[in-house]
Amino acid sequence: MDRAHDPKGQLFEQFARIGKVLASPSRLLLLDLLSQGEKPVETLAEQAGLTVPNTSNHLRELRATSLVSTRRDGQRIYYRLASPAVGDLLRSLQDVGHRHLAEIRELVRDYYEDPDALEVVDAAALHDRLREEAVVVLDVRPGDEYEAGHIPGAVSLPIEELERRLTDLPRDREIVAYCRGPYCLFSRQAVEELRAHGFRARRMEDGVAEWDDQGYPVAVGAESTEEIRARNLRRTQEPANTP
């Protein structure tokens, strides 16, 4: 049967379009960034380490297969995942790769696992400790990603600002840092920096998408520096709850 009269063949040809557009590390990286929230092309280029023209070309390919969509705000165009299913597809690809490719497991072991073998905090434990106000949670992603969605009560402290804002953090509580998910290094870098300055710190391996998948609430919007400092001051003046 020729392709023109083979509906199943035509169907799988369309599936293959998705596979073809995903066969690019840069496009996968852009989808990973967009899973944190919508972004303009300039922000995507900066965060992905790509040129703006190159980023635009990749986004054009992703849009041609309906994996991303856009909205216009004045002169600026914002890109976002076309649906939550695209984020699910990306995480499924990562999970399958981790399960079946030894090279991925070796990279994760060498660069992502805690060198001190300290237990990471899972979402359920973090949720309980937040309710007890027994922990300070740091969102160390860029500020635009925090505003797009974050764990309620988390403090926005982008990794590049951490060192100069250490004095804003209370020392009588454990600190838990999180970033974009299991394949993001920001939280590990934050924990290493915090421990080097005498803080008790651990990281949550998952990100906001995984937190949301488990049914926990997600907050949207920014919190002012003044509000953060006021809350932390109150916490340092109150006795810590022990688990």
Residue 172 is part of a domain; what is its CATH number? 3.40.250.10
Question: Is 98 a residue whose pLDDT tops 60?
Answer: yes
Domain membership flag for residue 242: no
Question: Is 69 a residue whose pLDDT tops 70?
Answer: yes
Work out the pLDDT band at 225, boundaries 50, 70, 90.
Answer: very low
Say yes or no: 120 and 233 in one domain.
yes
Domain membership flag for residue 92: no
Say yes or no: 211 and 120 in one domain.
yes
SS3 72: strand
What does the alpha-carbon distance between residue 76 and residue 144 come to, in Å, rounded to a whole number? 15
Say yes or no: 138 and 191 in one domain.
yes
Say yes or no: 35 and 122 in one domain.
no
Say yes or no: 49 and 133 in one domain.
no
Mean residue pLDDT of the chain comes to 89
Say yes or no: 73 and 162 in one domain.
no
Say yes or no: 140 and 216 in one domain.
yes
**pLDDT given for residue 241 in this prediction:** 47
- Asked whether the beta carbons of 78 and 38 are under 8 A apart, the reply is yes
Question: Is 236 a residue whose pLDDT tops 70?
Answer: no
Question: Is 1 a residue whose pLDDT tops 70?
Answer: no
| One-letter amino acid of 73 | D
Question: Is 5 a residue whose pLDDT tops 80?
Answer: no
What does the alpha-carbon distance between residue 49 and residue 45 come to, in Å, rounded to a whole number? 6
Say yes or no: 127 and 226 in one domain.
yes
Give mean pLDDT, residues 163-188: 93
Name the more confident of 111 and 195: 195
**pLDDT given for residue 58 in this prediction:** 98
Domain membership flag for residue 78: yes
**Active-site positions?**
179
Q: Please report, for the domain that includes residue 79, its CATH number.
A: 1.10.10.10
Work out the pLDDT band at 234, boundaries 50, 70, 90.
Answer: low
Domain membership flag for residue 215: yes
Name the more confident of 205 and 44: 44
Instruction: Indicate the number of domains in the chain.
Output: 2
Say yes or no: 125 and 231 in one domain.
yes
Q: What is the pTM of this model?
A: 0.83
Token pair belonging to 148:
């797009």
Range of 55's domain? Answer: 3-85
Percent of the chain whose predicted confidence (pLDDT) is above 90:
77
